[in-house]
Amino acid sequence: MTKKNLKQLLRYLRINSIIIIVVSYTFFTFYFSENTLATVSGDCDACHKLFPGLLDETLHGELVSTNVLCINCHSSDGKDTVKIIGRSRVPVVFNEVKPENPLAGGNFFYVAEFSGDRKGHNVDGIASMDSKFKGAPPGYYRDFDPSIPGYNTEKPLNCAGSNGCHGNRNIKNPYDAIKGAHHAVDKPVDGTTTARSYRFLKNTDEIKGVVGFEDADWGRNSTSDKHNEYSPSIDVLCASCHGKFHLRDKDGKKSPWFRHPVGIVLPETGEYARYNPDISPPDGMPGVRIYNPDAPVGRQKVLKAPGEEVKLGEDMVICISCHIAHSSPYESILRWDYDNIYAHEEGKGGCLICHTGK
């Protein structure tokens, strides 16, 4: 189309505003249709009438923080962890009642509970400031935080933005930090943009975001052959706010042995050779164990589909091998009840999924 033609078309469209609406609606429905790889699609009003603040930024001033926008849509007063708005499935990360089948990132229900402080990230709008950590990320180390603003301990923890985990951490405002991501093409998950980072975990626009394989149900009802796939890149994100967990000693480089090794491979020998002792792999496959979504490992090379196998000597211990990202029923956001882990029989879970001989 030449410039002249385009001008004519535009003039024609301007005369007939109804056509504009029809044309743009068709365009949007087509552009955002499920045939494309866009995340969110369809009936615009379903979300944009319900949450006018998403498009009308003058309403942002009325919110204490635009973080509330995220929470309103991603929560539920029932127990389901996926809800439907219009034709979209919304992953629910905050249920007001005990969630049934929490998503892989866990559920803020637990931190919002009475005395739930230590069971999750105290995100603004869900839980008040953590009474132990007073809003400062434990182990924060400025040198490991790639964001320009850095973490502001005077401000609360948010879903997104420089004081949050999702979106671009170089932008302070949670809404602005993620703007555009819900409608953008989100595949391949290569960490180049927020939409193309695993679960919008971009960290900052200057570095590569988190990569992984995204289960279509956000990890709900995971099994050994249907689950998210992680890579050690998620440790980099955690370390942005918890950098000291990656230090061998005060002046060490970046060896992650401060509390528990992360970013190291599961050894092929000793107790680790029986990772997930409850399920035996098929005969004739040395060095292979069966994946247990209750103690996930990170892949050095991201898989394109969920892998049922865990390769000893190759797959790695990551922060979320032991922790849940949002909130869990246990202190220190652990996957298991730490105090009772060793009371369990061998192979019944927790640390013992890896430490099979202890």
Q: What is the CA radius of gyration of the chain?
A: 22
In sequence order, the 6+-apart residues with CB closer than 8 A to the CB of 25 are none
Residue count (the chain)? 358
By the rule CB under 6 A, 92 interacts with ligand HEC? no
Among 40, 112, 171, 312, binds ligand HEC (CB under 6 A): 40
Q: Which residues pair with 95 in a beta bridge?
A: 76
Number of residues that bind ligand HEC (CB under 6 A): 90
By the rule CB under 6 A, 144 interacts with ligand HEC? no
Q: Which is nearer to ligand HEC, 100 or 237 (CB)?
A: 237
By the rule CB under 6 A, 262 interacts with ligand HEC? yes
CB 335 within 8 A of CB 344: no
Q: Which is nearer to ligand HEC, 7 or 89 (CB)?
A: 89
Beta carbon of residue 94, minimum distance to ligand HEC (angstroms, whole number): 12
By the rule CB under 6 A, 47 interacts with ligand HEC? yes
Distance separating alpha carbons of residues 240 and 339, to the nearest angstrom: 28
CB 53 within 8 A of CB 63: yes
Within 308-327, the residues that bind ligand HEC by CB under 6 A are 317, 319-323, 325
3-state class of 98 per DSSP?
A: coil
By the rule CB under 6 A, 237 interacts with ligand HEC? yes
Q: Which is nearer to ligand HEC, 128 or 280 (CB)?
A: 128
Beta carbon of residue 96, minimum distance to ligand HEC (angstroms, whole number): 17
Distance separating alpha carbons of residues 358 and 344, to the nearest angstrom: 11
Within 169-208, the residues that bind ligand HEC by CB under 6 A are 174-175, 178-183, 199-200
By the rule CB under 6 A, 48 interacts with ligand HEC? yes
DSSP structure class, residue 116: -
What are the Cα distances from residue 65, in Å, to 92, 123, 212? 20, 11, 30
Q: Which is nearer to ligand HEC, 79 or 155 (CB)?
A: 155
Among 104, 126, 236, 241, binds ligand HEC (CB under 6 A): 241
Within 283-302, the residues that bind ligand HEC by CB under 6 A are 295, 297
Strands (E), the chain: 75-76, 82-85, 88-91, 94-95, 158-160, 164-166, 288-290, 309-311
Among the listed ranges 3-11, 15-23, 152-160, 280-288, the one in contact with ligand HEC (CB under 6 A) is: 152-160
Q: Which is nearer to ligand HEC, 8 or 223 (CB)?
A: 223
Among 332, 346, 348, 357, binds ligand HEC (CB under 6 A): 332
Q: Would you list the DSSP string of 286-331?
A: TTEEE--TTS--B-SS--SS--SEEETTTSB--HHHHB-SSB-SSG
By the rule CB under 6 A, 141 interacts with ligand HEC? no
In sequence order, the 6+-apart residues with CB closer than 8 A to the CB of 354 are 266, 271, 272, 275, 295, 317, 321
Neighbours of 28 (CB within 10 A): 14
Beta carbon of residue 299, minimum distance to ligand HEC (angstroms, whole number): 13
Q: Which is nearer to ligand HEC, 21 or 285 (CB)?
A: 21
